[in-house]
Amino acid sequence: MNPTIDPANCDARPLNETGVAAGPAAGQSSRPGAEHKPGVAAGLLRLYLIRHGETEWSLSGQHTGRTDIPLTAHGEESARALSPWLGDIHFARVLTSPRQRARQTCELAGLGSAAEIEPDLSEWDYGDYEGRRSADIRKVRADWNVFRDGCPHGETPAQVSDRADRIMARLRTTRGNVALFSHGQFGSALAARWIELPVLDGQHFALGPGSLSILAHNAHHTAVRVIELWNAAVGQPPAVLLGG
Q: pLDDT tens across 20-36, in order?
A: 333 333 223 334 444 44
* Cα separation, 142 vs 137, whole angstroms: 8
Q: Mean pLDDT of residues grouped by 10 in the chain (244 residues)? A: 40 35 33 48 90 97 97 97 94 98 98 98 98 96 97 98 98 96 98 98 97 96 96 61 36
Other C-beta atoms closer than 10 Å to the C-beta of 6 total 12
* Cα separation, 34 vs 111, whole angstroms: 17
User: Architecture of 41-234 per CATH?
Assistant: 3-Layer(aba) Sandwich (3.40)
217 is catalytic: no
Q: What pLDDT, on a 0 to 100 scale, did the predictor assign at position 28? A: 32
Contact 215, 47 (CB under 8 A): yes
Q: Which of 123, 130, 155, 228 is catalytic?
A: 123
Q: Which of 52, 63, 183, 217 is catalytic?
A: 52
Cross-strand partners of 15 = 21
134, with CB counted inside 10 A (0-12, 13-18, 19+), is middle
Other C-beta atoms closer than 10 Å to the C-beta of 126 total 26
Which amino acid is present at 89?
A: I
Kindly give the residue spans of alpha helices, DSSP state H, lying in 24-99: 56-60, 73-80, 83-86
Q: What pLDDT, on a 0 to 100 scale, did the predictor assign at position 241? A: 30
Its pTM stands at 0.82
228 is catalytic: no
Q: What pLDDT, on a 0 to 100 scale, did the predictor assign at position 235? A: 60
